[in-house]
Amino acid sequence: MYRHLLVTVDGTPGGIDAIGHALELARAVGARVTFVLPGAAPDSRLSGARLPEHGAKVEAAARAQGLSHAIAGAGHPGAGHPAAADAAPGALAAALGCDLIGVAALPHDADAAACAQRQHLLATSGVPVLVCTSRRSPAEARVMARCLDAHRAVGGLLHALMAAGADAGAVAPQRQAAGAQGAPASLAALQRARAGSAIEARLFAVLRVRAECVAAELDELDRQRQRDAQALDALARIAADGLPSAAFDTALARYAHGAFEQMGRMEGVIFPAARRYLGDADWAGLDELLADGAAATPPRANEPNEPDDARRASD
């Protein structure tokens, strides 16, 4: 039985699927997980963000699953191996005592270097390698792509704001202030589109019907959204005073960490549950909403969301 999984992390759809597969396997067999992050180091200027984006996501997902976990990568040496981010997965797994390596399946358009690296891992690793494949119907792929596009949009804006703060000395104060005051409005619009009025809201409504076992996790996400709204309000009040501002940086870091954690819980817990419990008809219905624009209107509180052929599933 596997006791310690090493999982490589990246931001691609396949990589997100691999995290979900690995967490479900680890939970099923009672294993602990070590994640290997990309080489980007955390921004030390943002003291409220304890981890970079990928680290915050996987930590939140593992914690939601109740798993023992560690992070290896830039800024997170992992079990005393400071060069973890630079080590080959096979060598790192052996050094950490892992008995299984989880990697995402390569996309069809992977470059030659990535293919050669994967072949080398499979041929030389002394630790078994699990390649996590993702087989999706076209409808499911389109729905999930829209959800992940929204996550990337939020992440991209957050990274841009962080970079703007880091370059504060090179930008005119008037431009800094204008950018800071406009940022909370942009973030709020993105959050509303992602959490309240987009296809993601419809996906969660269907999942509540199909799988009672994820209701508590969906409730926790609702609470996190409320905390996000409070953090955005604080960010807007501080931004009104203009930049540069250490208080703005701290508030931005707090919001960024919460947003990345929320996306991590979705990508590591909710989306894998959707793959497991939603059927082809569910995905087709969501895809139709996406195509005709109905997903732009969220379900109302008194509007029934339960499909006609609803079937409930629980652990």
State the pLDDT at residue 44. 35
AA letter at 47 = S
Query: CA–CA distance from 213 to each of 60, 170, 209, 216, 260 (Å)?
Result: 18, 51, 10, 7, 23
Query: For residue range 186-224, what is the model confidence (pLDDT) as tens digits?
Result: 677 666 655 555 688 889 999 999 999 899 999 998 888
**Where exactly are the structural domains of the chain?**
4-132, 138-291
Which residue pairs, CB below 8 angstroms and at least 24 apart, start in 156-165?
157/183, 157/186, 157/187, 157/190, 158/53, 158/187, 158/252, 158/255, 158/256, 158/259, 158/260, 159/53, 161/252, 162/43, 162/45, 162/46, 162/252, 162/256, 165/45, 165/243, 165/244, 165/248, 165/249, 165/252
The more confident residue out of 160 and 304 is 160
Going by pLDDT thresholds of 50, 70 and 90, the confidence category of residue 148 is confident
How many angstroms separate the CA atoms of 244 and 174, rounded?
10
What mean pLDDT is predicted for residues 65-77?
Answer: 72
Query: For residue range 105-147, what is the model confidence (pLDDT) as tens digits?
Result: 888 888 899 899 899 999 999 999 999 887 778 999 899 888 8
* Torsion-angle region of 69 (φ positive above 0: left; ψ -120 to 50: alpha; else: beta): beta
Is the pLDDT assigned to residue 172 strictly greater than 80? no
The more confident residue out of 45 and 190 is 190
Is the pLDDT assigned to residue 185 strictly greater than 80? no
Is the pLDDT assigned to residue 39 strictly greater than 70? no
Neighbouring CB atoms inside 10 A of 59's CB total: 21
The segment with the largest mean pLDDT, out of 75-84, 159-168, 205-214, 242-251, is 205-214
Q: Which CATH superfamily is domain 4-132 in?
A: HUPs (3.40.50.620)
What mean pLDDT is predicted for residues 270-295?
Answer: 86
Going by pLDDT thresholds of 50, 70 and 90, the confidence category of residue 49 is very low
- The answer to which of 12-16, 120-124, 276-280 has the lowest mean pLDDT is 12-16
Q: How many CA atoms lie within 13 A of 14 on its CB side?
A: 14
State the pLDDT at residue 139. 93
Is the pLDDT assigned to residue 239 strictly greater than 80? no
